[in-house]
Amino acid sequence: MVFKDYTFFSYAFLATAVILLIGQALGAGLCDNSPFKQICASIVYNRTDPREASIAAVHKLVYQSKVAKVVAQRQNKSTEIDYCISKFDLSIVFLKNSLTNLTAGDYRKHRTSIIQARVAYNGCDAEFQTSGKPNPIAKSTKFLEDMTFVGAYLASLIK
């Protein structure tokens, strides 16, 4: 009689372990073809649904855009920094639009809005290149650009 109880619990444990491992494998699978696997893995974590992962990516992009804006505001005032701050604000608008588009079921516009945010981040870098001045927030904009590649990639997986 005691033996049957242990058998039941071992099967329950085995089933739980299999479910957890499959979930982890599927979550990691979302990033298999991602352009920046490490960034993707930090966003996807244990998510298995591309839609949920895409939402997480957009939320992280909004947050990181706000962080980059604060970093830019702490730099010496210049027209280039002011331009970058406006581009960070614009990117947040694009990212919020992407969530609206996703909720409406328009996955193409959702992905396009993420790409528009990338263009806004590129605008910051371009402003410094045009002026010939070094970009003091280049690491921030590069990280944001890389994240938009991941966000757009995850958006492309939604069906």
- Which residues span the domain enclosing 46? 37-157
The answer to the question of residue 8 being in a domain is no
- As for how many domains the chain has, the answer is 1
Percentage above 90 pLDDT, the chain? 76
The answer to the question of residue 7 being in a domain is no
Band of pLDDT at residue 38, cut at 50, 70 and 90? very high
Whose CA is closest to 157, among 62, 44, 64? 44
pLDDT tens for 44-98 read: 988 899 999 999 999 999 999 999 999 999 999 999 999 999 999 999 999 999 9
The encoded tokens of residue 36 equal: 């920046």
Q: What is residue 15's predicted lDDT score, i.e. its pLDDT?
A: 52
Percentage above 70 pLDDT, the chain? 82
The answer to the question of residue 24 being in a domain is no
C-alpha pair distances (Å), 127 with each of 27, 74, 149: 38, 18, 21
The answer to the question of residue 25 being in a domain is no
pTM above 0.85, yes or no: no
Tokens 């957890």 belong to residue: 20
The answer to the question of residue 22 being in a domain is no
CATH of the domain at 82: 1.20.140.40
The answer to the question of residue 139 being in a domain is yes
Residue 130 has pLDDT above 70, yes or no: yes
The answer to the question of residue 101 being in a domain is yes
The predicted model gives 133-154 an average pLDDT of 95
Q: What is residue 29's predicted lDDT score, i.e. its pLDDT?
A: 86
